[in-house]
Amino acid sequence: MNRLNIGLIGYGTVGQGVIKMLRTRENFIRNKFNTEFTIKAICDRSIHQKNTRGLAKTNLTTNYLEVINDPEINVVIELVGGMHPSYEIIGGALRSGKHVVTANKELLAQKGEELFTEAKKKNKAIYFESSVGAGVPIIKMITEGLAGNKFNAIYGIINGTCNFILTEMTKNNWTFSQALKEAQARGYAERNPALDVNGIDTAHKLSILVFLALGKSIKLNDIYIEGITHISHVDIEHAESLGLSIKLLAIAKRVKNQIEVRVQPTLIAKDHPLASVNGIFNAILIDTDPLGDILLYGQGAGQMAAASGVVSDLINLAARNNSPSTIMVGNLFQDISTFKLREIDQIKTKFYLRFMAIDKPGVLAKITGILGEHGIGIASVTQKESKKSSTVPVVMLTDLATESMVRLSLQQITRLSVVKSKPVAIRMEKL
């Protein structure tokens, strides 16, 4: 029988889900995995306001030091989130010889390399399945399931909040704010949704994936990040009529010895499997060599989805507890890559462009003229007839163009007297 004593720090939604799952699955885990977990301690700053029925034998504390210094505890689960005191908790737990399970993508994105080096030094493991895609086993697939493969590209829908908002905007013809309100009402978005809708949360997760798949440590500042706040339902409609869907994609691509890493609303073909990933679901498409394309899809958010990833980590950890030094099959949290980051300016994609222009002859010629001067070819143009207003939307799909040329062109086009309001540019990706 494998036995692990657990100290849980952070008894919020996910923490409570973990305890619930461990207790309802006690027999199942004992029988199937020959493993017993004992919940030795739970720490939360407001533990005394929480429901702790059935935890009479557990040390309930507000002081995390009691957990990380308890010699009987083998593994510390960190579910506080954010940078501090999570950084101190995980570092302290490792230094006092405990394994760590965490769902903290922000901390791993910023301090992963340091924490994993510490873990290695202490011969301990950090498991972090729930940090990306909740319980959907993306981390295990990349580090172990596809071991031996090289990774050419990653395309992920890895923020449930953004995907829910875009889905609702598409389905109901809603504005961003309407969809955000619905997400908040359903508990899918926080009161302050900035980290999600600005793409930062997606970038944290992407940087973990890039490290695991490409062995490259990247700083958040080096990732080109565009959120979804500027996406309008007008563009979703235009995209639909062109057979395209807008998704917030995390993209990492290897191009020779450079890598592109970016988070951005992206137009993809509607019949691509990623386009049908709706609501809070997450999906990740990986182009691997020699296996080819792999797609993994599942519920990437929610109390029990995240709890499921944490419990899976605990079971895997328990099964390998005897041999900690060989636990991390492919979790090389150290920068072994000589890849250079490719600047966003150099990245070529096709673009969807929308201009609101005055409906009179010669306007199209002026716009396409400027694009042409910058070497940007046009693949298609749609100019809708105006019903009520004097401006009409002009929608274009370009050929491959660099970010910098598009930006320059748009600056010039914005200055045209016939063009009203700021042009919209959304990148397209051929998956």
Does 296 sit near a second copy (CB under 8 A)? yes
- Smaller CB distance to a second copy: residue 140 or 254? 140
Q: Does 305 bind a second copy (CB under 8 A)?
A: yes
Residue 256 makes contact with a second copy by CB under 8 A: no
Let me know: does 431 contact 367? Beta carbons within 8 Å. no
Q: How many residues bind a second copy (CB under 8 A)?
A: 58
Q: Measure Cα distances from 328 to 154, 188, 202, 286, 323 in Å.
A: 21, 32, 24, 21, 10
* Cβ distance to a second copy smaller for residue 273 or 369: 273
Judge whether 360 counts as a catalytic residue.
no
Cβ proximity to a second copy, 10 vs 302, nearer residue:
302
Judged by CB under 8 A, the chain residues 312 through 331 that form the site for a second copy are 312, 314-316, 319-323, 325-326, 328-330
408-413: long-range pairs with CB below 8 Å, 24+ = 408/374, 409/370, 409/371, 409/373, 409/374, 409/376, 410/353, 412/370, 413/355, 413/367, 413/370, 413/371
Rounded Cα–Cα distance for residues 135 and 348 (Å):
34
Alpha-carbon distance values, 248 to 38, 166, 208, 322, 380 (Å) = 40, 8, 17, 41, 23
Question: Would you say 331 and 212 are in contact if contact means Cβ atoms under 8 Å apart?
Answer: yes
Among residues 12, 81, 85, 145, which is the contact residue for a second copy, using CB under 8 A? 145
DSSP-based three-state secondary structure for 92: helix
Smallest distance from a second copy to CB 145, Å = 3
Question: What gap in Å lies between CA 134 and CA 42, rounded to an integer?
Answer: 21
150 binds a second copy (CB under 8 A): yes
- Residues in region 42-101 near a second copy by CB under 8 A: none
Residue 113 and residue 44 in contact, taking contact as beta carbons nearer than 8 Å: no
Chain center to CA of 403 = 23
140 binds a second copy (CB under 8 A): yes
Query: Quick check: 292 binds a second copy (CB under 8 A)?
Result: yes
Segment near a second copy (CB under 8 A), from 68-76, 174-182, 296-304, 353-361?
A: 296-304
Choose one: 141-149, 199-207, 350-358, 363-371; the region binding a second copy (CB under 8 A): 141-149
Q: Does 298 bind a second copy (CB under 8 A)?
A: yes
Among 89, 136, 353, 363, binds a second copy (CB under 8 A): 136
Residue from 76, 37, 39 nearest 57 by CA: 39
Pairing between strand 150-157 and 244-255? antiparallel
Strand-pair partners of 230: none
* Residue 26 contacts a second copy per CB under 8 A: no
Task: Please report whether residue 240 would count as binding a second copy according to CB under 8 A.
Answer: no
Strand, helix or coil for residue 146 = coil
Q: Does residue 33 belong to the site contacting a second copy (CB under 8 A)?
A: yes
Cβ closest to a second copy, residue 254 vs residue 262 = 254
Catalytic, out of 98, 105, 205, 216: 205
What are 252's two structure tokens?
């990492």
- Judged by CB under 8 A, which of 63, 276, 382, 389 binds a second copy? 276
Closest distance of CB 320 from a second copy, Å: 6
**Residues noted as catalytic:** 205
Footprint on this chain of a second copy (rule: CB under 8 A): 2, 21, 25, 28-29, 31-33, 129, 134-137, 140-141, 144-150, 215, 271, 273, 276, 288, 290-299, 304-305, 307-308, 311-312, 314-316, 319-323, 325-326, 328-330, 332, 336
